[in-house]
């Protein structure tokens, strides 16, 4: 679905000063088969992220499909804690029918992903987790499951707002899906054994993400030479160290919530993200009674906002 952004096609994905009506501020990152630039529209000085996906041959067409899927998923979503993708444009080479390059114009977030922080204080994490739960809940109400929730797919802005990013592996309920999807360190056992993505696998991914950010360790892997753990609940549970053992400062209710999400069998997890959201909301309300614990008063937020 193309749109008139004024990006122009006279340039390629190399770092340049200008792309159409947009000034290139710098590089934001590089994916497995993409480059993400920070750009600013000259007409109104609005900032965006531009994801550029080159398609050099037939083998690269899977990246085209993934980017188109990511855009289609984003058009079904509208929530403050979910990244917006404004439009998609394709470049076709002269005399060639196929797409040679694809660009996604994405909401720009000034901040960094959660994996880039060394330590995030527990009171701030509780408020972050609440925002993630609210964003996930919106996705699930629209029958969309993220499928790859992890710290580097969660962006924290300098305003203290969280954005869930990267819908490349998201699944729309009712559509076919044949391959295993996700990141091994965060995948639920049934993602591996049954190739399924559901609200309950997202809950497990969320639990694994919270576990990592609170304890500074990953959960025991389901893959990577330990494939039997995806089917052996008792063995996996024995390897999963309790949250409070690894970080005694963790509030008991938060530790129990994380471990509940990480139940090996789906039926033993919370019934929905809404259930987890309600627990986190209660905890966040308690945390925010202290001005110094409010995420908007965090020293990092104030420093970055004034930078």
Range of the domain at 272: 111-305
149 vs 273: CA distance, rounded Å: 13
pLDDT value, residue 219 = 95
CA 19 to chain centre: 27
We report the CATH number of the domain holding residue 40 as: 3.30.200.20
Let me know whether 258 and 117 are in one domain. yes
281 vs 146: CA distance, rounded Å: 21
Asked if the model's pLDDT at residue 1 lies above 50, the reply is no
Asked if the model's pLDDT at residue 47 lies above 70, the reply is yes
Let me know whether 102 and 148 are in one domain. no
Asked if the model's pLDDT at residue 251 lies above 60, the reply is yes
Of 107, 134, 166, the domain-final residue: 107
Of 50, 82, 107, the domain-final residue: 107
**DSSP three-state, residue 243:** helix
Burial of 20 (0-12, 13-18, 19+ CB in 10 A): middle
Let me know whether 35 and 178 are in one domain. no
| C-beta of residue 201 within 8 angstroms of C-beta of residue 190 | yes
| Terminal CA-CA length for the chain | 37
List beta partners, residue 91. Answer: 101
| C-beta of residue 87 within 8 angstroms of C-beta of residue 1 | yes
Of 50, 77, 107, the domain-final residue: 107
Mean pLDDT of 57-67: 83
- Tell me whether residue 99 is in a domain: yes
The answer to whether the Cα torsion of 193, 198, 204, 206 is positive or negative is positive
pLDDT value, residue 13 = 44
Residue that has been written with the tokens 């480059």 in this structure: 35
Q: For residue 188, which phi and psi values (nearest 5 degrees)?
A: -75, 155
Mean pLDDT of 125-142: 98
What band does 243 get if pLDDT is binned at 50, 70 and 90?
very high
**Among residues of the chain, what percentage have pLDDT more than 90?**
62
Q: What is the token pair recorded at 303? A: 């420093």
- Tell me whether residue 4 is in a domain: no
102 vs 64: CA distance, rounded Å: 7
Mean pLDDT of 190-199: 88
* Mean pLDDT lowest among 24-38, 142-156, 162-176: 24-38
Look at residues 31, 10, 296 and name the one whose alpha carbon lies nearest to residue 160: 296
pLDDT value, residue 306 = 62
- Tell me whether residue 5 is in a domain: no
Let me know whether 158 and 274 are in one domain. yes
Let me know whether 101 and 121 are in one domain. no
- Tell me whether residue 255 is in a domain: yes
Let me know whether 48 and 179 are in one domain. no
Q: What is the token pair recorded at 41? A: 């529209």
The number of distinct structural domains making up the chain is: 2
Mean pLDDT of 170-182: 80
Let me know whether 143 and 219 are in one domain. yes
* 140-160 confidence digits (pLDDT tens): 999 999 999 999 999 999 999
């Amino acid at each position: 679905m193309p749109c008139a952004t004024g990006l122009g096609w006279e340039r390629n994905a190399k770092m340049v000063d200008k792309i159409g009506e947009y000034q290139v501020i710098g590089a934001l990152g590089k994916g497995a088969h993409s480059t993400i630039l920070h750009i600013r529209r000259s007409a109104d000085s609005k900032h965006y992220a531009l994801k550029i996906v080159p398609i050099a041959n037939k083998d690269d067409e899977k990246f085209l499909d993934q980017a188109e899927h990511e855009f289609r998923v984003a058009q079904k979503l509208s929530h403050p804690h979910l990244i917006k993708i404004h439009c998609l444009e394709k470049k076709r080479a002269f005399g060639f029918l196929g797409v040679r390059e694809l660009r996604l114009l994405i909401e720009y977030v000034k901040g960094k992903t959660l994996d880039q922080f060394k330590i995030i204080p527990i009171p701030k994490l509780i408020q972050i987790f609440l925002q993630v739960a609210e964003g996930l809940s919106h996705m699930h109400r629209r029958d969309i499951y993220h499928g790859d929730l992890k710290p580097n797919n969660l962006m924290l802005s300098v305003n203290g707002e969280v954005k869930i990013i990267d819908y490349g592996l998201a699944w729309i309920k009712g559509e076919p899906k044949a391959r295993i999807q996700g990141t091994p360190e965060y995948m639920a056992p049934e993602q591996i054994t049954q190739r399924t993505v559901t609200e309950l696998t997202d809950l497990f991914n969320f639990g694994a993400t919270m576990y990592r950010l609170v304890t500074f360790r990953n959960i025991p892997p389901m893959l990577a030479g330990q494939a039997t753990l995806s089917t052996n609940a008792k063995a996996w549970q024995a390897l999963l160290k309790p949250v409070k053992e690894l970080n005694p400062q963790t509030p008991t209710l938060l530790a129990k919530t994380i471990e509940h999400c990480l139940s090996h069998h789906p039926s033993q997890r919370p019934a929905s993200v809404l259930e987890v959201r309600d627990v986190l909301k209660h905890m966040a309300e308690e945390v925010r009674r202290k001005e110094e614990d409010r995420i908007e008063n965090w020293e990092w937020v104030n420093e970055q906002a004034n930078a």
